[in-house]
Amino acid sequence: MNKPLPIALGHSACPHDCPSTCALDVEIIDRNTIGRVRGAEGNSYTAGVICAKVARYAERVHHKDRLLKPLQRVGGKGEGGWREIGWDDALDLVAEKFLAAEVAYGPESVWPYFYAGTMGLVQRDGIHRLRHAKHYSNQFSTICTNPAWTGWFAGTGRIAGVDPREMEEADVIVIWGTNAVATQVNVMTHATRARKRRGTRIVVIDIYDNATMQQADLKLKLRPGTDAALACALMHVAFRDGTADRDYLARYTDVPAELEEHLKSRTPEWAAEITGLTVEEIEAFAALVGHTPKSYFRLGYGFTRQRNGAVAMHAALSVPAVFGHWRHKGGGAFHNNDQIFSFDKGEITGKTLADPSVRHLDQSRIGAVLMGDADALSNGPPVTAMLIQNTNPMNVAPDQRKVRAGFSREDLFVCVHEQFMTDTARIADIVLPATTFLEHDDIYRGGGQSHIVLGPKLIDAPDTVRTNHFVIEELARRLGVGDRPGFGLSERELIDRMLTKSGYGSLADLEAGRWIDCQPSFEEAHYLDGFAWADGKFRFRPDWTGSPASTRPPASLGIQGPAERLPALPDHVDLIEVADPGHPFKLATSPARHFLNSSFSETPGSRGAEGGPVLMIHPEDAACLGLAEGERVEIGNERGEVVLPLKVTEKVKPGVLVHEGLWPNSAFERGEGINTLTGADPVAPYGGAAFHDTRVWLRRAS
């Protein structure tokens, strides 16, 4: 049979939580159906390339398991019994439960919980409008960016860096702690173009030989949580060999002499002992970046998902400041562009409606919050009602046993608005069906690049499916706040007003242009007019507790984790879960190439490509324990146990285990997923979860 021809080509943006924020061209087959999705050729960052999972988005949007009708639980929580319920009845019930919670314990007992399942500014952030209008509990959003952004901000004073497209002019590209082939493919587009054109050398620093390391010219496979030691040794060599840029250091940095003195004992031999790299590897890397002015450091999230992650980010970021790489086109560092955008989102988020005295609850500590931990609740009332949009905490949040126990509480009412029957939807009281990005209007902005991209509605959603915006507006009306500022506007009106207020033109302008490139000038991106601190100097000596970073915890929560153990200058610090005789292995739970967090674990293309959940182990470890490929093992710690089949591979180091992907809990033998093992104790100093920093024991499963 011939494939139907597309009737039109729609323009959109990828809504998923990925730094690339690709500009998309979408084949529209008819009013309800899409065909192939491609990367926009004309966008200079996307450059026509997107990942496989979004290219085959038709299988997600037209999936037979899409949620289509509102559902009400029948039977026990999580048992899987549902009956269909009309939209009006469902929303009436949610409003009734929220009002009841408010009467019993005050508005802070309602906790709207969200994350970045869609990165659209209207559909993602509109939940705050309802929150603020009702003075419901705030969410301190720690689960992803906090350790990384805190470490970066500590140095530069601003979450922004060198244009990632400048990688094409670099002679060395250091891909540090990000599995870019899997998690942001466009980094590889620009890096491999550079290699083709100018013979650029690609260095990858990771804890296992992942898809990105397989493309590297220099592979540095170190022990988890030891990146700061490597960074210190590189800087030691710079001072030792005279490759440090002393003129740059004097002009642009705070305490270069102090740093030099401090690093005298941080030799390659010292770092080799800690990182497990050889002295030769460290010396070769130091010589390479020491003699290559155009060295570009692309710093990722992965290496900051350790309990010393903020320190590691700051240490790695200090390296190009010592060598003066920032001076040169194609040199310097990049992590995220958050602060180059200046959106006035106030109307979407209902900023003026907020009461500053309302408490914040830590997103990553949802288990403790729901279990009534007084500290996690800031000594306030229990959480007894929730609305959840764009996130799947029953799968992705750490310390899962606590999370599950919390969601199982009979006195907790949960409404989940979702596209699929996720682990979280499964344990809800009311499930509402949500549109996908192709079925609603929204606007997106890059984190790993510099574009604002429009994502208009391209096809009609199934009749009974509603947008996040609709749910927020309808609940607001029922809760008596629908007439407050910011309510009663359409998505398009909100986008238009935000763009105009922010000085980015109108919606009509953006529709005509598709995207806006907000890349700052070369001088600004390279901090050539000074870093973003009052004295203009990069800080080798950060103020870990005083920085006014956007990631800083609200006063009601205070500084997080063992902040007093953070070093004054870049250094290795054993804040991590160090392996011990009772827990001889270090486990990392790294993202899978064909999933996006727990999304796409429902699509046949992605599931097929990933195979199934496995645990990677080094052949020596397997042999030592008398274990073979495919054998089932149990791994565990004080938080729980999980059973997985082994994959014996030299990709991982001895003593290190890697599990890729956030598989649904049902994919595991006992119905408990990988986050059963990860901890929710906050990364110092501004919080976050150390997903790749877990010590475990391992034994043959019975």
Whichever of 16 and 236 has its CB closer to ligand SF4, that residue is 16
- Is residue 675 at the binding interface for ligand MGD, with CB under 6 A as the rule? yes
Residues in the chain: 702
**Contact by Cβ (8 Å): 19, 449:** yes
Binders in 135-194 for Mo ion, by CB under 5 A? 144
Look at the block and give the residue holding tokens 């991106």: 525
- Is residue 117 at the binding interface for ligand MGD, with CB under 6 A as the rule? yes
Q: Which listed residue (94, 110, 144, 259) binds ligand MGD by CB under 6 A?
A: 144
**Contact by Cβ (8 Å): 313, 299:** yes
- Over the window 443 to 462, marking each residue x when it contacts ligand MGD by CB under 6 A and - when it does not, the resulting string is --------------------
In the complex, what is the shortest distance from the CB of residue 530 to ligand SF4, in angstroms, rounded to a whole number? Answer: 33
* Nearest one of 212, 398, 225, 219 to 303, comparing CA atoms: 225
- Is residue 314 at the binding interface for ligand MGD, with CB under 6 A as the rule? no
| Residues β-bridged to residue 415 | 387, 430
Q: How far apart are CA 227 and CA 218, in angstroms?
A: 16
**Contact by Cβ (8 Å): 360, 378:** yes
Which tokens belong to 477? 């009306």
- Is residue 66 at the binding interface for ligand MGD, with CB under 6 A as the rule? no
- Is residue 302 at the binding interface for ligand MGD, with CB under 6 A as the rule? yes
Q: Which residues contact 681 (CB under 8 A, 6 or more apart)?
A: 307, 561, 690
Look at the block and give the residue holding tokens 């960016």: 145
How many Cα neighbours within 13 Å face the side chain of 51? Answer: 28
Q: Which listed residue (38, 158, 294, 305) binds ligand MGD by CB under 6 A?
A: 305
Binders in 227-246 for ligand MGD, by CB under 6 A? 227
Strand 585-590 and strand 632-637: pairing?
Answer: unpaired
- Is residue 349 at the binding interface for ligand MGD, with CB under 6 A as the rule? no
Q: Which residues contact 292 (CB under 8 A, 6 or more apart)?
A: 171, 172, 201
Q: How far apart are CA 171 and CA 331, in angstroms?
A: 8
Rg of the chain (C-alpha set): 25
* Nearest one of 335, 293, 52, 321 to 187, comparing CA atoms: 335
Whichever of 14 and 319 has its CB closer to ligand SF4, that residue is 14
Q: Which residue is nearest to Mo ion (CB)?
A: 144
- Is residue 678 at the binding interface for ligand MGD, with CB under 6 A as the rule? yes
Amino acid letter, 145? T
- Over the window 48 to 77, marking each residue x when it contacts ligand SF4 by CB under 6 A and - when it does not, the resulting string is --xx--x-----------------------
Question: What SS3 class is residue 674?
Answer: helix
- Is residue 453 at the binding interface for ligand SF4, with CB under 6 A as the rule? no
In the complex, what is the shortest distance from the CB of residue 284 to ligand SF4, in angstroms, rounded to a whole number? Answer: 32
- Is residue 18 at the binding interface for Mo ion, with CB under 5 A as the rule? no
Whichever of 22 and 288 has its CB closer to ligand SF4, that residue is 22
* Nearest one of 310, 305, 299 to 334, comparing CA atoms: 299
Whichever of 54 and 310 has its CB closer to ligand SF4, that residue is 54
Q: Which listed residue (322, 458, 674, 680) binds ligand MGD by CB under 6 A?
A: 674
Whichever of 147 and 350 has its CB closer to Mo ion, that residue is 147
DSSP string spanning 469-530?
HHHHHHHHHHTT-TTSTT-S--HHHHHHHHHHHHTS--HHHHHHHSEEE-PPPHHHHTTTT-
Whichever of 244 and 596 has its CB closer to ligand MGD, that residue is 596
Return the range that interacts with ligand MGD (CB under 6 A); candidates 201-209, 351-359, 451-459, 642-650.
Answer: 201-209
- Is residue 596 at the binding interface for ligand MGD, with CB under 6 A as the rule? yes
Q: How far apart are CA 638 and CA 678, in angstroms?
A: 10
- Is residue 616 at the binding interface for ligand SF4, with CB under 6 A as the rule? no
Q: Which listed residue (147, 151, 177, 456) binds ligand MGD by CB under 6 A?
A: 177
Whichever of 13 and 47 has its CB closer to Mo ion, that residue is 13
**Contact by Cβ (8 Å): 344, 170:** no
- Over the window 456 to 495, marking each residue x when it contacts ligand SF4 by CB under 6 A and - when it does not, the resulting string is ----------------------------------------
Whichever of 444 and 663 has its CB closer to ligand SF4, that residue is 444
Binders in 382-411 for ligand MGD, by CB under 6 A? 389-392, 396
CA atoms 585, 591, 597, 600: torsion sign = negative
Q: Which residues contact 655 (CB under 8 A, 6 or more apart)?
A: 223, 579, 584, 585, 586, 618, 621
Q: Which listed residue (98, 301, 341, 527) binds ligand MGD by CB under 6 A?
A: 301
| Residues β-bridged to residue 71 | 84, 431
In the complex, what is the shortest distance from the CB of residue 230 to ligand SF4, in angstroms, rounded to a whole number? Answer: 28
- Is residue 597 at the binding interface for ligand MGD, with CB under 6 A as the rule? yes
Which tokens belong to 518? 């907000």
Q: Angle, to 10 degrees, between the axis of helix 227-241 and the axis of helix 279-290?
A: 60
- Over the window 3 to 22, marking each residue x when it contacts ligand SF4 by CB under 6 A and - when it does not, the resulting string is -----------x-x-x-xxx
In the complex, what is the shortest distance from the CB of residue 163 to ligand MGD, in angstroms, rounded to a whole number? Answer: 18
- Is residue 422 at the binding interface for ligand MGD, with CB under 6 A as the rule? yes
Q: How many residues bind ligand SF4 (CB under 6 A)?
A: 11
Binders in 23-52 for ligand SF4, by CB under 6 A? 50-51
Q: Which residues contact 295 (CB under 8 A, 6 or more apart)?
A: 170, 171, 172, 173, 174, 288, 289, 320, 323, 325, 331
Q: Which listed residue (141, 156, 178, 384) binds ligand MGD by CB under 6 A?
A: 178
CA angle 491, 497, 502 (to 5 degrees): 125
Element spanning 102, H or E? helix 87-105
Neighbours of 236 (CB within 10 A): 24
Binders in 148-207 for ligand SF4, by CB under 6 A? 185
In the complex, what is the shortest distance from the CB of residue 441 to ligand MGD, in angstroms, rounded to a whole number? Answer: 11
- Is residue 633 at the binding interface for ligand SF4, with CB under 6 A as the rule? no
**Contact by Cβ (8 Å): 639, 401:** yes
In the complex, what is the shortest distance from the CB of residue 546 to ligand SF4, in angstroms, rounded to a whole number? Answer: 35
178 binds, among ligand MGD, ligand SF4, Mo ion, none (CB under 5 to 8 A by kind): ligand MGD
Return the range that interacts with ligand MGD (CB under 6 A); candidates 26-34, 554-562, 587-595, 606-614.
Answer: 587-595
- Is residue 454 at the binding interface for ligand SF4, with CB under 6 A as the rule? no
**Contact by Cβ (8 Å): 127, 114:** yes
**Contact by Cβ (8 Å): 173, 574:** no
Which tokens belong to 304? 């900051």
- Is residue 17 at the binding interface for ligand MGD, with CB under 6 A as the rule? yes
In the complex, what is the shortest distance from the CB of residue 480 to Mo ion, in angstroms, rounded to a whole number? Answer: 35
Q: How many residues bind ligand MGD (CB under 6 A)?
A: 58
**Contact by Cβ (8 Å): 300, 180:** yes
In the complex, what is the shortest distance from the CB of residue 600 to ligand SF4, in angstroms, rounded to a whole number? Answer: 9
Q: How far is CA 383 from CA 32, 109, 355, 478, 683, in A?
A: 39, 4, 18, 21, 24
Q: How far apart are CA 295 and CA 291, in angstroms?
A: 9
Binding site for ligand SF4 (CB under 6 A): 14, 16, 18, 20-22, 50-51, 54, 185, 596
Binding site for Mo ion (CB under 5 A): 144
Binding site for ligand MGD (CB under 6 A): 17-18, 115-118, 123, 143-144, 177-179, 182-184, 205-208, 210, 224-225, 227, 300-303, 305-306, 389-392, 396, 417-420, 422, 434, 468, 588-593, 595-599, 662, 674-675, 678, 691-692
